[in-house]
Structure 1
């Protein structure tokens, strides 16, 4: 992963020590990134396995992902799309967009399009509008999800003009990525207000990160803060098995304990779904007592949506759930 951080996001860190500051930990590289485990990958959720056209990922029946741009305003050290993000593949080209539209026209079951990357809002307004116009020509009723960390790391990018443009595409949902309550600043809240005032709902996908938010009080403050900012907590993801990210991952047992705490303290509106993308392209599943079958020989056994059992490494010390053999 390249190093890069916006001046705004850097200013949120109270220390430049990534071992002692939850903001710094997300943008300052650490030696642990050089430790690659045998079960880790640059493509841990198998994007390439489901590539229907260059930059078009069709994994789930009714929705597809478009990798609009490989650039980010800040490169998260826990990024799971390391095979693509910051890889110098650049922006979506005109010919790639034409091919994506051709494939989409042949797959009418696709009703939702996720625009991600990298960060799609790193594109100028005009380029982004060209992409949205081309996609709506294929199907004017697409439900769009704009996956972006820009409100968190560069909130000034959410201008009135950008919000106006995005708001013209009827079913436009914004999915942002807030991991710590200190990221919910007045600047972030103003950016969200601009989006919400144009009729765009905003969801949040957080990642459970060791040393950043694997704490009951931090997660409680995060979820309440999101609701106050008019953002619905959507997912809390268990860390993917991306290369060099072991130092960020908690155990699934710890995640289950944290979710139990949140359910005892917060309203249903504030509770995200705790989930994992199964290794090897198995898909996304919620993590709870029904899907976590137990720990066997150092591996969690997880029940996938296809009924198959998938393995995820048990890397923590907790052993309060399930049977270990």
Structure 2
């Protein structure tokens, strides 16, 4: 964990330069990491690859937790009838392209198809990558739809990664949304502070200040992602008055261990990122090798409870298929119910009677 968090760097490669230097071909990656280029070719024909130099520098162990998130794996091509490209039914709930209106008071607005790194566990593997470019006209249509829906109070910007938009495009979009009277809240879902923290520049932070209330949720999946650069990016956003939350995905071979998850949550709190959601991995085609049992997630949540501050305990969530929405999953602490009392187990396993 970094001891001294500095201000945002003003020298070194820009985020655009780092992004331009990303590894996107099997040949380039096989020159750097011990991987089979033929396997990479087979996988990347279906699911694109992008690993920027910053995140690649963090990959120190073959098949380790960071490797698994960014290096293509032949298991992505394993078929499973239980897994689908869009099991959450985002497309059927899209009244206009790139926008999902599932809940009455909020919309999910996918304003970019690009990411600083293409995560191998991505829930939108079907649509991320260079082929699905979101245009200004697409964004304008989404804004017009939001303007027409007076019940929409919150807009969640997602993608891809919305922070792959240029500052000018992001400012234009935030300004449009900020002028809609019934929109009370804008939320940004991003991975750039963990995958390419150089994107969080002084200019970007200054621009965000002008559009309060603005919330940012960040995907962090492993403690090794919390580097000095990532901590500095998050601290700069928090110093600007922007509330930060984390959205972690429970991933086999990455963070499906109670102690690793607890270490991650503690480190997030130190950089002022409030653990928000622990997502059970969705049943997405190409991600079977990342999925755990729900009992694994419940065991992790039971381990966190009582061993760390409630501030650091996320909601464990599953997203129901066919557009059913998110629901929380909780460990069952109640052993027995009778008319006058409950028999309850605490985090150590000790049992107590509690009067009703």
TM-score between both structures, scaled by the size of structure 1: 0.85
Give the Cα–Cα distance (whole angstroms) in 2 for the partners of residues 68 and 78 of structure 1: 20
Secondary structure of 1:129's counterpart equals helix
Contact 1:53/1:100 (<8 A) preserved: yes
CA contact (8 A) 2:301 2:331 kept: no
Q: Could you list the per-position Cα deviations for residues 97-129 of structure 1 after superposition, in whole angstroms to 9, with x for gaps in the alignment?
A: 332222212211111101010011111100111
Identify unmatched segments of 5+ residues in structure 2.
1-46, 333-356
Aligned residues: 286
C-alpha contact 1:101 1:138 (8 A) present in aligned 2: no
Alignment counterpart, residue 227 of structure 2, candidates 156, 166, 185: 185
Alignment deviations for residues 202-235 of structure 1 (CA, whole Å, 9 cap, x no partner): 0000000001000011001000000001000000
**Cα distance in 1 for residues equivalent to 2:163 and 2:144:** 24
Counterpart position of 1:12: 58
Cα distance in 1 for residues equivalent to 2:137 and 2:254: 41
- Give the secondary structure class of the aligned counterpart of 2:111: strand
Quick one: which of 314, 317, 322 aligns to 1:272?
314
Write the distance in 2 (CA, Å) between the matches of 1:140 and 1:108. Answer: 6
CA distance in 2, matches of 1:162, 1:283: 32
Q: Does 2:70 match 1:24?
A: no
Query: Secondary structure of 1:235's partner?
Result: strand
Correspondent of 1:97 among 139, 148, 152: 139
1 CA distance for matches of 2:269 and 2:321? 31
| Structure with bigger gyration radius | 2
In 2, the alpha carbon distance for the partners of 1:289 and 1:61 equals 29
Q: Distance in 2 between matches of 1:100 and 1:258?
A: 39
1:146-173 CA distances to partner (integer Å, 9 max, x unpaired)? Answer: 1110001111110000001112101100
Q: CA deviation at 1:89?
A: 1.6
Where does residue 252 of structure 2 map in the other structure? 210
Measure the CA separation in 1 of the matches of 2:331 and 2:263.
25
Q: Give a deviation string over 1:259-278, Cα, whole Å, max 9, x none.
A: 10010211110000001101
Aligned to 2:342: none
Query: How far does residue 197 in structure 1 lie from its aligned partner after superposition?
Result: 1.2
| Deviation for aligned residue 1:87 | 5.4
Deviation at 1:289, TM superposition (A): 5.2
In the other structure, the counterpart of 2:268 is 226
Could you say which residue in structure 1 is the equivalent of 2:156? 114
Aligned to 1:78: 121
How many angstroms apart in 2 are the aligned matches of 1:77 and 1:141?
33
Structure 1 unaligned runs (5+)?
Answer: 291-325
Q: 2:157·2:189 contact (CA, 8 Å) conserved in 1? A: yes
Aligned pair in 2 of structure 1 residues 113, 140: CA closer, same or farther (>3 Å)?
Answer: same
Residue 138 of structure 1 pairs with residue 180 of structure 2:
yes
TM-score by length of 2: 0.78
CA RMSD of aligned residues (A): 1.3
